[in-house]
A and B are shown apart, each in its own frame.
Chain A
């Protein structure tokens, strides 16, 4: 069984021990192997590069070095420098060049080392790639995938410019799809879908999850984009979460079960376009909802989900909508103040108890 330990020396926050069993996505008897989240992404890249010669990778230090977090490790040796291309430190041009290549039929998968650096590429992401198809009246399409590690808790504090969660920046731009997987199974299936999709896809990888393990089927599978995934069905209260926060929600749900509370957990694994229907129908069923995001609070994803609840399930609500988000501050360095910057399992449990008390 999962336990919660407080470790303020390495993370500066509550560090639960998350068992892979918390989220089971492969049925018994289905041939499967255990992969880390990072390995699952790499396997998706490898399989898609083998399947389609138009798929290639570009980014800073993604060659022999394997990228800042090692995701592309071994791909350079397998596919060579033509298809695993090390670039200069030119974020805007990495994205713009991917757009140009995509316009003529390639399927580039590009990496920006940290999502925090993507501000340098904002013009090419949000003003060019996202709008090209629309403003040309459908004359073109831009099938690229932009991979960006994001989030905190990577095992050490990395402060304000290497720890943000920025899905809202991109979800707020029409024309982009935004993916944020929480498990190895989702990471692989969503990456394959993202590569095959004809729109530009922002693929956010939660750094802390890279080492998380989970079962991944041996057989090929592709998951749908633009759908929430119900990670756990329940009748009493809904938790809507994404990324690493899904694990806190699942652990909280397991603990609440022992108190007789039946928690439903919805994983918004594709942030945009948002699958409003799944959120709406869950809250119409349970009448209670807690929204959990690692992204900071103001104008963040939890607020969008909350409005979906208000619009689609207001008259079913038995308690006020609760949101639990990253603190609305730059990410601090020192453990003493980084502590509590993101929601944790205890916070989810507390919020669940509060909405259940109504």
Chain B
């Protein structure tokens, strides 16, 4: 599949945007300026960006507690995201959600649900609505490897398969559910084999390779749009940071992390852009700098924004 240069550059831009956003969020957290927890997507950028670049704004994603990256990949604005993390009225969720619930509905979202596996049925239901109304839209729920052990996940895959719904289930295998290695809680090595039990295709792709992810996602999305039903897409990935920012990571070795860091999807994609697209380093540096500036402005915007007024605490409970 031919991918045009504009798309390639946009993929690069979004991956860098995620990385810079996450580094900034971690920094704010470590300086005590963010309450709660930050679950970063550092190392997994190629997965979210590869998938979301294969979608339109009309297609909907369902996020998780680790969805800063999914939001940015789908086109969310970093200033409204940063404001949400700092609990400001100008955030996407008006400060009601925080880091774990950032969802930009305007970019095509079903929300970010911070109970592992719980977004799966929502995407199935959205897919059902699309099919009933004969719309050419696709719903894409993200989970990690550990999410594939939940009842939501298995029930959801089964229902989507039996009703041939336009859903692409993205399972990002970052190898750990908090501290538990996936190999300790799933017997099979290749998680895409789980699709066999539900009668849908299961595809496994290198989650550090944004082009490979994009191509696999595009095929699964195209299949769904044609009315041929759901696909399980496993992106083999790794989270470079702890489960949450500042987590001690006693369950894995420095050597293991360092080994995976060699696969960092951003330098890898940058190198391939220079070789295959003949881009000059200065052109890519310009994108990096532009994003750095954007994130600095996002932090400033978030800091300057007001917190929600106490008089609005009971808003949005009922529609």
Q: A residues near B, CB below 8 A? A: 56, 82, 87-88, 90, 92-93, 95-106, 108, 123-124, 127-128, 132-143, 174-175, 177, 197-199, 273
A136 in complex: contacting residue of B103, B124, B127, B128, CB < 8 Å: B103
Would you mind naming 21 contact pairs between A and B with Cβ atoms under 8 Å apart? A88-B159, A93-B156, A93-B159, A96-B118, A96-B122, A97-B121, A100-B62, A100-B123, A100-B125, A100-B139, A103-B111, A106-B129, A127-B118, A133-B319, A134-B317, A135-B111, A136-B101, A136-B316, A137-B95, A174-B317, A175-B318
B310 touches A (CB below 8 Å): no
> Which residue of chain B is the closest to A93 with respect to CB atoms?
B155
CB atoms of B121 and A136 under 8 A apart: no
A101 in complex: contacting residue of B62, B92, B105, B126, CB < 8 Å: B126
Known A82-B132, A96-B120, A97-B128; contact A88-B158, beta-carbon cutoff 8 A? yes
CB atoms of B123 and A138 under 8 A apart: no
7 further A-B pairs in the complex, CB-CB below 8 A; given A97-B125, A124-B118, A135-B111:
A88-B158, A97-B122, A124-B121, A124-B152, A127-B118, A128-B122, A137-B93
CB atoms of A104 and B129 under 8 A apart: yes
> Which residue of chain B is the closest to A141 with respect to CB atoms?
B319
Residues from chain A with a CB closer than 8 A to the CB of B115 are: 123, 127-128
Task: Give the distance to chain B from A72, nearest Cβ to Cβ, in Å.
Answer: 18
Residues from chain B with a CB closer than 8 A to the CB of A87 are: 159
Residues from chain A with a CB closer than 8 A to the CB of B121 are: 92-93, 95-97, 99-100, 124
In whole angstroms, what is the CA distance A288 to B236 when docked?
Answer: 68
CB atoms of B316 and A104 under 8 A apart: no
CB atoms of B93 and A139 under 8 A apart: yes
B113 touches A (CB below 8 Å): yes
In whole angstroms, what is the CA distance A100 to B140 when docked?
Answer: 12
CB atoms of B152 and A93 under 8 A apart: yes
CB atoms of B152 and A96 under 8 A apart: yes
In whole angstroms, what is the CA distance A358 to B310 when docked?
Answer: 45
* The 9 residue pairs across chains A and B that have the minimum distance between CB atoms: A96-B121, A100-B125, A137-B94, A97-B125, A198-B319, A100-B122, A141-B319, A93-B155, A90-B155
CB atoms of A133 and B126 under 8 A apart: no
Known A90-B155, A97-B159, A104-B130; contact A136-B125, beta-carbon cutoff 8 A? no
CB atoms of B126 and A100 under 8 A apart: yes
Task: Give the distance to chain A from B55, nearest Cβ to Cβ, in Å.
Answer: 15
B217 touches A (CB below 8 Å): no
Known A92-B151, A92-B152, A101-B125; contact A135-B97, beta-carbon cutoff 8 A? yes
Task: Give the distance to chain B from A134, nearest Cβ to Cβ, in Å.
Answer: 5
B184 touches A (CB below 8 Å): no
B315 touches A (CB below 8 Å): yes
Residues from chain A with a CB closer than 8 A to the CB of B132 are: 56, 82, 106
> Which residue of chain B is the closest to A120 with respect to CB atoms?
B151
In whole angstroms, what is the CA distance A92 to B132 when docked?
Answer: 21
B191 touches A (CB below 8 Å): no
CB atoms of B130 and A140 under 8 A apart: no
B229 touches A (CB below 8 Å): no
